[in-house]
Chain A
Amino acid sequence: KAGVTQTPRYLIKTRGQQVTLSCSPISGHRSVSWYQQTPGQGLQFLFEYFSETQRNKGNFPGRFSGRQFSNSRSEMNVSTLELGDSALYLCASKDHDNEQFFGPGTRLTVL
């Protein structure tokens, strides 16, 4: 089986712009979670989707949003980018068990 894939792998944006990141889960996995990883804050939970429904979200401003499609692929969007949004954004998928499989991440740099 192919692993979790994320596109793009690297992205450079300027303050005020918006960005959309994409995640394709492992085939058959219906749960997709997003995390932000920074040196200062570590790995922080953004949101989790299952069958196109957001089941939980972390403590992030409304500028961070996401969605999941019927094929379980997910996207996250960050609007009005700030310098502090520079981070590695990780997507993880899982099936009915609890084991999460992570993708390689998208490195976002905001200038």
Chain B
Amino acid sequence: GESVGLHLPTLSVQEGDNSIINCAYSNSASDYFIWYKQESGKGPQFIIDIRSNMDKRQGQRVTVLLNKTVKHLSLQIAATQPGDSAVYFCAESSSGTYKYIFGTGTRLKVLA
């Protein structure tokens, strides 16, 4: 499959445990944030997003937390499953720029 990053930080978690993936963003003007999941050989897949007027948003098994004070974003995955193994990227955007800036990515490995 495609290699999306040879030197990515790796998070290894036991199946069934919760995972927390962190991301520091750079632009204090960013007002929209997204988490993507990328599996080998595929393009990034949208997981969840959050706007800057919120500090928490929940989806199915996933929660995104936003701390604008320290420019930090996190993705929490509950009851991690083998199918969650992938590379996870955060991305930021600011209104009117029409561009997304991606973080370096974190590889999540789920141990059986």
Residues on A lying within 8 angstroms of B by beta carbon are 4, 31, 33, 35, 37, 39, 42-45, 48, 50, 55-56, 58, 88, 90, 92, 98-105, 107
Contacts and interface: CB of A to CB of B under 8 A. Distances in A.
Contacts of B100: 33, 45, 100
A100 B34 contact: yes
A37 B99 contact: no
Interface residues of B, number: 28
Contacts of A48: 98-99
User: Which of B5, B32, B42, B91 gathers most chain A CB within 10 Å?
Assistant: B5
Contacts of A98: 32, 34, 49, 93
Majority-rule SS of A interface residues? strand
A58 B97 CA distance: 11
Contacts of B99: 33, 45, 48, 56, 58
Contacts, number: 64
A4 B43 contact: yes
B46 A107 contact: no
13 contacts: A33-B98, A35-B102, A37-B4, A42-B89, A43-B105, A48-B98, A56-B98, A56-B99, A90-B44, A92-B43, A98-B32, A100-B46, A100-B100
B5 A42 contact: yes
Contacts of A58: 99
Contact of B6 (A39, A50, A88, A102): A39
A43 B91 CA distance: 10
Nearest to B93: A98
